[in-house]
Amino acid sequence: MSHTQLNNCKIVFSDFDGTLTYKEGLGPVFFDILNFLESKKVPLVIVTGRSLSWGHFLLTHFPFLTDVIVEGGGTIVSRKGKFITEEPMVSEAEIKRLAGFVLEFEKAFPNIRLSVDSFGRRTDRAIELHDLQDGVLFHHIEDFLRQHNINFSTSNVHLNFWCGEISKYIAVDYFLKKQSVNETDCLFFGDSLNDQAMFKSFHNSVGVSNIATIMDRLIHKPTTILTGDENVGPFGVLNYLKKNL
């Protein structure tokens, strides 16, 4: 993407964990990013593996945000004034099939708990990665998911699984078409495996420097890859925005 195009950037999309957070925390630099984009009048749409209830939290507490894509693309949450609407990207049948599968899963893996935020999830469920340190167990779970035709992906913190076609890109593409905004006029920041659908199909994607830890596992890489400690997570996002917007 040339810098001239970036001057007309219509929407900035960004992953949340590891991209807008640093060491699992939401620091002052996150607010610097919000303030910077607000001053440029460029909306930020967070595209995260976090739950629907997290989407509510973000929209309720950060007035600059009006749309958030959660559950890895499973639901688009929007706010108009004080009214929040939710648009699931999969059918009610898929949502029910997932709920049924969870019961099977709990029978097969009685010692594995779903992530605490799974109660706030609708189109997917999650397991904390730190509960899956045992590689053999991880593979058993992956096999079980495959046998049951359940899709899955890992974020920085979770193994997420769901029914139906869900990806960050499908939801972003749907969102852009609805707004009649061209994808090439937008930018995406990410750092993890669950950002891969975006890296694959989105023209202007940026990997913050901590993406280096998973680079060899990425089949599709971002078009721009930031390097150096100064470009870790939100610092990389802010540096890139300041240089290019």
Of 123, 70, 116, 63, the C-alpha closest to 98 is: 123
Residue 152 tokens read as 């899955």
Give the three-state DSSP class for 161. strand
What x-and-dash track marks residues 49-68 binding Mg ion by CB under 5 A?
A: --------------------
Residue 203: how many other CB atoms lie within 10 Å: 14
Of 25, 141, 36, 120, the C-alpha closest to 75 is: 120
Shortest Å distance, C-beta 152 to Mg ion: 16
**Stretch binding Mg ion (CB under 5 A), from 7-15, 24-32, 38-46, 171-179:** 7-15
Buried b (16+ CB within 10 A) or exposed e, 177-193: eeeeeebebbbbbbbbb
Residue choice 123, 154, 167, 192 for contact with Mg ion (CB under 5 A) = 192
**Stretch binding Mg ion (CB under 5 A), from 68-76, 185-193, 196-204, 224-232:** 185-193
What x-and-dash track marks residues 137-156 binding Mg ion by CB under 5 A?
A: -------------------x
Strand 205-207 versus strand 186-190 pairing type: parallel
Q: Is 71 in the site for Mg ion (CB under 5 A)?
A: no
- Half-sphere exposure of residue 225: CA atoms within 13 angstroms, side-chain side: 13
Residue choice 11, 17, 69, 101 for contact with Mg ion (CB under 5 A) = 17
Choose between 49 and 105: whose C-beta lies nearer to Mg ion: 49
Residue choice 67, 71, 124, 191 for contact with Mg ion (CB under 5 A) = 191
**Stretch binding Mg ion (CB under 5 A), from 8-16, 67-75, 117-125, 220-228:** 8-16
Which residues lie near Mg ion (CB under 5 A)? Answer: 15, 17-18, 156, 191-192
